Structure 1
C-alpha cells in the first residue's frame, strides 16, 4: 500500500523550491518575521563570562567588622515595582502568544496563495489566532493541573497534608512518579497540539471553522486514515530530527563566519582601549550587534526548513482528504512538471480550485470579518489591495519559463 506520508517528501521539497526560488530577499525577510513567532528559535548563554567593570567582589570583611547588608528592604514601592514587572511580563507573553498563534494562519495562507502579505493576513486571521491561543493555553493548563493533582494525591495518600510535612521517602516517590507522567503528557499534548497546528489550522482556513469545529471536521479524516497519520507522525519525527541537526550545523557555520569580521575589527580596538570605560562600551556594542545578526540569520536559516515541513503536512492532508486540500495549485504544479511552470498548475491529479471556504483563493465572497476574498489571480493583481497593504505584499513572478 502506497502511503502519502512516504510519497509526499519529494513533492514537499519541490514545493519549497517553487515557493522560495528564485531568491527574493523581501519574501525571505517577511517569512523570517513569521519564523520569529512559529519557528521556535531561542538563544541562551548560560555561564557567559561577564563583567567589564573589573573585580566587583566586595571580599571578606575584616575581623571585627560587620558584613555587608545585602538584604533589600521590603517597601510598598518595591512591591509595586515587582508587581508591575510581573504584569508587564504576563502582558508581553500574552501578546507574543496570540501573535504566534495568528502567524500560524499567516504562514499557511502564504503557502496557499504563494505570496506573503503579513499585515493583510494578520488583520484577517487574528481572531482565529486568539482562539487557537486559548485552545493551546487551555490544553496545557488542564494537562499541568491533572499532573499536579495526581502527584499531590499520591503524596497526600502516603504522608497526609500539607506537602511541607511529607517525609523524604514520599518526596522521592513523588519525584520518581513525576518523570513518566510529564514525559507521557509531553508526548500526548505535543502530538495533540502538533496535529492542531499542522492539520486543524488548515481546516480552519479551508472551511472557515473555529478550533473545535476544525477538530470535529478533521477527526473523521484522522480516524478513517489512521495508518496514514501514524506514518506521518513517525516520518515527521525523523524529519524534525534531521532538520534540527541541519539547522544546528548551519547556525554553527554562520556563527563562525560572523565572528571573524567582529574579531578582526573588535580585537585591535579592545587591545588599545581595554575593557574599561570606552573599551567596555565598544565591546558591549560589538557583542550586541553580533548576537542581533546571529539571531536574524537563524530566522532566515529556518525559512526553508519550516516551509518544507509545513508543505509536507499540507500535501499529506490533501492527499488523504481531497476536500481539505489547501494547496491544490501547488500540488498540481509540482506533480505535473516539478513546479517550474506555473501555467501548468491545473494539470496533474489534484483539484484545481479550493472551493468551499470563504478564505479560499479560488472562491469569491467575504471573510468572517468582512474582508473580500476574490480569486487568487484577482488578489495578486488588484492594485487597490496592494496600495491598502502599504507595500507589505510580496507577489510572485508567474513567468518562470527562463528557469532551469
Structure 2
C-alpha cells in the first residue's frame, strides 16, 4: 500500500514553487516576518563561556605585608535589586509577547497558504484570540512537563539520599544525573511530538472547523488513530526533512555571510585606514560599529528570507498529509487541485486555471471544490465555504470556539 506521506513530498515542492514564484518581494518579506515568529531566523545565540574555566583567571594573592587591594565586590543595594527585577520583568514580558505573537502567526501562516495571500494585520486581528489559546496550551504543557520531571528526579533523589538535596551524597547525585538523561530524551520525544502535531495538524483543524485547541485535538485524534501509519511515516520523514533543511539553511547562511562580508571589507578596511591615518580614533570606532550593525542586520534579514521556501515547503507538506488523511480537514484545496492536475506550473508559476492568480489579479475563490477564497479586506465572506471567519459575521471568536 502506497503511503500518501511519501507522495506528498513532491506535491509540497510543487505547491511551494507555485506559491512563491514568480518572486513577489512583498510576499517574501511578509512570509519572512511570519517565519521570524514561527521559526525564528535559524540562528542560535548561545551564551559566551564564563571566565574562569581553565584556570589562570584568578587574581594573584597579595605579597606578604602588602596592603590589601580595593574591595570590588558589588554592594547589594535596594536600587540594584530593583534594577535586576526590572530587567527580568522586561525580558519576561518580551518573551511572553513574542510567544503570543508567534502562536498567532501559526494561524496566519496556514491562512496565507489557504488563501494564497499573506495578510499580516488582518490575520493578527482575526486570530489573536486563537493565538492566546494556543499559547496557553503550550504553556500548560511545558509547566506540566517541567513539574513532572522535577518530581521524578527530586523524588528519586529523596528516596536514595533523603531530603533536602543539600544532604545528598555523591552517589545519589550521580544516580539522579544518570536518570535525568533518559528522562530528558523521552520528554523531548513525547512533548516534541505533541507540540509538533499541535502546530502542524491541530491548528489547521481549528481553522477548518472553528474549534478550540482541546476540541480540535479530540477531532484530530480520530483521524490520527484511523491512519496511524500515515502519521508515523510523516513523523519519520519530517525529522529527516528537517535535518536536510537545517543543513541546506546552514550552507546557504555561510554563503550569505561570505557574500555580505566582501563588500563590507572593501568599504570598511580603506575607511578605517584613512580615519586612523587622520588620527580619528573615535571616528574609526564609530564607523566600524555602524558597519558591524548594518552587516548584522543584513545577515538577520537574509537568514529569514533564506528560510521562506523551506518553511513554506514543510508547512505545505503537513497540510497535504492532513488533507489526504481526512478530506474534511483540507485547507488548501486550490493548491492540491493545481499540483495534481498540471503540476502547478504553467510558466507563470501558477496553474493554468488561475487558482493562485496573484500575478494576474484574478480571484480563484469559489470556483474550486471546497469553496476556498482569498477575500480582500473590504469583501464580505458570507458565501465563503470556510467557517473559520464566523467571528467576522457577528459571532465573537472567544464566545464561539468550542473548548
TM-score range (shorter-chain normalised) is: 0.7 to 0.9
Match for 1:80 among 72, 79, 82? 82
Q: What is the SS of the residue equivalent to 1:337?
A: coil
Paired with 1:317 and 1:37, the residues of 2 have a C-alpha distance of 23
Paired with 1:105 and 1:360, the residues of 2 have a C-alpha distance of 21
Match for 2:217 among 210, 215, 218? 215
Specify the alignment match of 1:370 in structure 2: 392
Specify the alignment match of 2:353 in structure 1: 343
Specify the alignment match of 1:383 in structure 2: none
Q: How far 1:68 sits from its partner (Å)?
A: 3.1
Q: How far 1:345 sits from its partner (Å)?
A: 4.9
Q: What is the SS of the residue equivalent to 2:2?
A: coil
| 1:18-37 matched pairs, under 5 angstroms | 18-37=18-37
Counterparts in 2 of 1:155 and 1:318: CA distance versus 1, 3 Å: same
Q: What is the SS of the residue equivalent to 2:284?
A: helix
Specify the alignment match of 1:141 in structure 2: 143
Match for 2:316 among 311, 316, 322? 311
Specify the alignment match of 2:54 in structure 1: none
Match for 1:66 among 53, 68, 74? 68
Specify the alignment match of 2:400 in structure 1: none
1:156–1:162 Cα contact (<8 Å) kept = yes
1:206–1:360 Cα contact (<8 Å) kept = no
Specify the alignment match of 1:200 in structure 2: 202
| 2:165 is aligned with 1:163 | yes
| 1:5-404 matched pairs, under 5 angstroms | 5-41=5-41, 42-44=43-45, 63=63, 64-274=66-276, 276-340=281-345, 341-343=351-353, 345=355, 352-354=369-371, 362-363=384-385, 367-370=389-392
Q: What is the SS of the residue equivalent to 2:341?
A: helix
The one-character-per-residue Cα deviations of 1:209-242 (angstroms, maximum 9, x if unpaired) are 0100110110000000000000000111111011
Q: How far 1:71 sits from its partner (Å)?
A: 1.4
2:157–2:176 Cα contact (<8 Å) kept = yes
Paired with 1:295 and 1:361, the residues of 2 have a C-alpha distance of 41
Counterparts in 2 of 1:131 and 1:364: CA distance versus 1, 3 Å: closer
Counterparts in 2 of 1:183 and 1:71: CA distance versus 1, 3 Å: same
Q: How far 1:74 sits from its partner (Å)?
A: 1.1
Paired with 2:287 and 2:382, the residues of 1 have a C-alpha distance of 52
Q: Which segments of 5 or more consecutive residues in structure 1 lack a partner in the other structure?
A: 49-56, 374-404
The one-character-per-residue Cα deviations of 1:140-184 (angstroms, maximum 9, x if unpaired) are 111111011000001000110000111111111111111110111
1:325–1:354 Cα contact (<8 Å) kept = no
Counterparts in 2 of 1:44 and 1:365: CA distance versus 1, 3 Å: closer
Counterparts in 2 of 1:167 and 1:58: CA distance versus 1, 3 Å: closer
Q: What is the SS of the residue equivalent to 2:353?
A: helix
Q: How far 1:129 sits from its partner (Å)?
A: 0.5
Q: How far 1:45 sits from its partner (Å)?
A: 6.5
Of the structure 1 ranges 266-275 and 310-319, higher mean CA displacement relative to structure 2 is found in 266-275
1:266–1:283 Cα contact (<8 Å) kept = yes
Paired with 1:200 and 1:287, the residues of 2 have a C-alpha distance of 42
1:110–1:117 Cα contact (<8 Å) kept = yes
The one-character-per-residue Cα deviations of 1:17-49 (angstroms, maximum 9, x if unpaired) are 11000001111001110011012323426659x
Q: How far 1:365 sits from its partner (Å)?
A: 7.0
TM-score (norm 1): 0.84
Paired with 1:191 and 1:365, the residues of 2 have a C-alpha distance of 28
Give me the CA root mean square deviation.
2.6
TM-score (norm 2): 0.84
Paired with 1:134 and 1:141, the residues of 2 have a C-alpha distance of 10
Q: What is the SS of the residue equivalent to 2:317?
A: helix
Looking at both structures, which has the greater relative contact order when contacts are Cα pairs under 8 Å and sequence separation is at least 6? 2
Counterparts in 2 of 1:366 and 1:266: CA distance versus 1, 3 Å: closer
1:154–1:174 Cα contact (<8 Å) kept = yes
